[in-house]
Structure 1
Amino acid sequence: FFYVGAPFVASVSIGSGPTAGSNTVTIRGTGLSTASSVSFGANSATPTVVSDGTISVVVPAGTAAGSVSLSVVTTGGVAGGLSYTYVDAPTVSTVTPSSGPTTGGTAVLLSGTDLATTDSITVGGTVAPFAVLNSTTVSLVTPPGDAGATDLVVTTTGGSATVVGGFTYIAGPGV
């Protein structure tokens, strides 16, 4: 017979992620060496014990976007008090304007949904500077690119949205 103390969770490495799950988070605390389950709201996953103070777990898919309670089950009891936020994947419905010169520098507005947590935008594979205006609108400035249609890719905490051929570079007159 031996006594296992109650667990305590102090932090989660990443507090939000895609509703689809599949990202890995690290949970730190004490008494975690016997962790058998981590619950993200109503959904559970089996953790990997790294040490008595650290476990890692692949986040299960959520049922909807929003904040859920996070708890860890161990031989010594259940530790809670942390939360995790599921974020929906973005969508892009309009690109205005959808064309500009190969020299870049075109100010573009993207409209869609779930754009508030935008981490990066690429145009034809090249990172573009951007500003999040609100959850449905992002502005960007196109980098230089080769003539022709290119894909726009918006990456957020919730995932990525690709607009195939979303921006067309137009070559200027030859010299």
Structure 2
Amino acid sequence: MSSSDPAYEAFESTTVIAAPPERVWQALTDPELIPAYFDDSGPESDWQVGSAVLWRMEPGAEPRDAGQVVLAADPPRLLAYTWHTYEPEIVEMFGWDDARAEEARKEPLTQVVFRLAAVDGGTELSLVHEGFVPGSEMLAAVRTGWPEIIAGLKATAEAAP
């Protein structure tokens, strides 16, 4: 599964953050910083390859295992993990009935890959979220969600001490 595989679709974004890669990595992985740009929710992990990625799907909720794992972690250059599917909160947000949700859950897990590279004045952050089947409603959701999250990540990393 790759963004170059025509059977799958992807979301891609690149931005420059005025902070060193180590600070951007910290913003990507620190459970104290993640809620600042993931709307008081988001992923938690020890960020070791093979470790579970737990999700706090709404503010104040306990993080839970949605079957995601860390695929790659090379601080502060690369972080990749599988992406959750249609959890109950997402099904509710989309307004689906049980049958529609069950059909959507047959889609393969996708993966998100963050690549960080030092550039003059900071870090170039490249994000590729790939493996979506054509017509995936999750892809439609991440196309609007990731730009907001990336903007928040940028602000968080640039403001961190």
TM-score, normalising length from structure 1? 0.23
Q: Which protein is richer in strand relative to its size?
A: 1
Structure with more relative contact order (C-alpha pairs < 8 Å, separation 6 or more): 2
Q: Comparing both structures, which one devotes a greater share of its residues to helix?
A: 2
Q: Which has the larger radius of gyration?
A: 1
